[in-house]
Structure 1
Amino acid sequence: MTTALFPDLVVNGEVVPHAVVAAEVQNHSAPKGKPGIAWRKAANAIAMRTLLLQEARRRGIATEPAEVGPGRFETGEEALIRGLLDAAVAAERPTEDEIRAEWARDPSRFRAPPLWEVSHILCACDPRDAAEKEAALARARALLADLAAHPGAFARLAASHSDCGSKSSGGALGQLGPGDTVPEFETVLRGLEEGETTAEPVLSRHGWHIIRMDAVATGAVLPFETVRPKIAAALEKAAWAREARSFAERLLASAEISGADLRGA
């Protein structure tokens, strides 16, 4: 049913069922109590998808769904849109001068992965269990208070109270690099200075952590030849994205759409 809040979506005379837009709404955020915002975002996404599918069918595109993961395949519509973009969008590969200029803008952006020497105290819990989570947090905060009063007691407290096997080495985890820990733990490591301990317990899927950064080895700047393929791929991807946007804008310029507003989207 059409309402001012949820109007019918019509793309070049094709009426898109409300159920299609409603199914897309879950993929878009909006402030609490303002469902119209999420609906408009969903309508814009579906309008663009419908427009691309119309163009693919107009051109007679026929593309088989590709495997996108172990046992997972594209939908028929996803395959059509991919086939359309493969046929309609082409981006020139960056020149050697462009690749080198991008590197020269700031070579320090291209570094080897860092190494962190880390110690921690784990107060284990199942974060899905509210009572267990709160009890473990209380333990972790009490340990932090003890550390504030006795800054040199980290290893002793870890040996006595940590729920991690590293307690046998005073909480020391040794050297870690990107990908060696759970993401929420690594995010904290990236923000800690050498010698710094987290001011508040850090929650991961394993429980609450008190983390100390014992040493940091910043990765060395990599030479141009090492990072050249990565820079070339990034520049080509950016160029393709610009061409794809230009193609979409051309489709929009000649389209008749109601129930969505794709200007600037």
Structure 2
Amino acid sequence: MTTALFPDLVVNGETVPQAVVAAEAQNHSAPAGKPGIAWRKAANAVAIRTLLLQEARRRGMAPDPVEVGPGRFETDEEALIRGLLDTAVEVAQPSEADIRAEWARDPERFRAPPLWEVSHILCACNLADEQAATLARARAEALIKQVRDNPRRFADLAKQNSDCGSGAAGGTLGQLGPGDTVPEFEAALRDMAEGDISAAPVPTRHGYHVIRMDAVAHGAVLPFEAVRTKIGEAMEKAAWARAARDFTDALVRGAEIIGADPATAPEPGGMR
């Protein structure tokens, strides 16, 4: 059924069920009260997916789903799109000169992971419990004030107040690197310099933290040989994405599409 707001999507004479577009619309954001925006985004994405499936079937391709996670396999449609793009899109590997030029453009981008020496005081709570979270935050704010008034008291305050086992050692957590702690805690560390004390309590799934950055070792710039493979893989992936987009754009230009305008739509699912 066609409506003024949500017209039928027809791709090369194939009418796509509105239920398919509605399901895709759940993956697209839109301002409150403006469902038409999400619908148009979804229609564009579905139009491209339909074009790719039509092309795969035109070529007589059959789906060959692969495992994409433990016990989780591609759908037949995902497998068809992947197979089509793997067949139709080819890119040359970047040359040694191109890889070296990409590295030389800004070697500072390629560093070893940093190391942080950190101490903290944990005021544990379940953040979903509003009353407990309010009390824990107030405790942490009071501790921050005490630490800022007298930084030398940090270890004693940790021993007396921290809900973490590290409190017995004055709050010290030793050396941490990326991935060693929860993302919210790590994000706070990345914004701190040596000697800093968190200006406000840092919330994580464990509660509120008062953090002191005891030392920072910024990762050294890595030599070309250490990052050559990573750069080459990234360049090849970017080139593949551009070529896949060009292939899709060509399908769009040669198609008759009613109810969508996918010329500027994002890449469809199934692309690398």
Into which bin does the TM-score normalised by the smaller protein fall? Answer: over 0.9
The 3-state SS of whatever aligns with 2:32 is: coil
- Asked whether 1:259 is paired with 2:265, we answer no
Partner of 2:139: 139
The 3-state SS of whatever aligns with 2:57 is: helix
Partner of 1:129: 129
Q: Distance in 2 between matches of 1:26 and 1:78?
A: 18
Aligned residue pair count: 265
> Could you tell me the percent identity over the aligned residues?
70
Say which is worse superposed, 68-77 or 200-209, in terms of deviation.
200-209
Aligned residues of 2:249 and 2:263 also touching (Cα < 8 A) = no
Partner of 1:114: 114
Q: Distance in 2 between matches of 1:66 and 1:77?
A: 12
Partner of 1:45: 45
Runs of 4+ in 1 over 3 A off after TM superposition: none
Q: Distance in 2 between matches of 1:12 and 1:135?
A: 62
Unaligned runs of 5+ in 2: 266-272
Partner of 1:7: 7
Structure 1 residue 178, shift from structure 2 partner: 0.7
2:26 maps to amino acid: Q
Structure 1 residue 261, shift from structure 2 partner: 1.6
1:35 maps to amino acid: P
Aligned residues of 2:63 and 2:77 also touching (Cα < 8 A) = no
Partner of 2:250: 250
Partner of 2:231: 231
Give matches, 1:50-129, under 5 Å.
50-129=50-129
Unaligned runs of 5+ in 1: none
CA-to-partner distance for each residue in 1:41-99, whole Å, 9 max, x for gaps?
Answer: 11111111111111111111123110001111111100000000011000110001101
The 3-state SS of whatever aligns with 2:262 is: coil
Partner of 2:156: 156
Q: Distance in 1 between matches of 2:38 and 2:131?
A: 34
The 3-state SS of whatever aligns with 2:173 is: strand
Q: Distance in 1 between matches of 2:197 and 2:224?
A: 36
1:247 maps to amino acid: F
Structure 1 residue 145, shift from structure 2 partner: 2.5
1:179 maps to amino acid: G
Aligned-residue CA RMSD (Å)? 1.3
The 3-state SS of whatever aligns with 1:263 is: helix
Say which is worse superposed, 65-74 or 32-41, in terms of deviation.
32-41
The 3-state SS of whatever aligns with 2:194 is: coil
Partner of 2:268: none
2:95 maps to amino acid: T
Structure 1 residue 173, shift from structure 2 partner: 0.5
Q: Distance in 2 between matches of 1:81 and 1:166?
A: 51
Q: Distance in 1 between matches of 2:114 and 2:237?
A: 26
The 3-state SS of whatever aligns with 1:244 is: helix
Q: Distance in 2 between matches of 1:116 and 1:92?
A: 40
Partner of 2:270: none
- Taking structure 2 as the reference length, what is the TM-score of the superposition? 0.94
Structure 1 residue 151, shift from structure 2 partner: 3.0
Give matches, 1:205-220, under 5 Å.
205-220=205-220
Q: Distance in 2 between matches of 1:196 and 1:13?
A: 64
Q: Distance in 2 between matches of 1:89 and 1:227?
A: 26
1:98 maps to amino acid: D
Structure 1 residue 206, shift from structure 2 partner: 0.9
The 3-state SS of whatever aligns with 1:220 is: coil
Structure 1 residue 263, shift from structure 2 partner: 2.6
Q: Distance in 2 between matches of 1:87 and 1:122?
A: 54
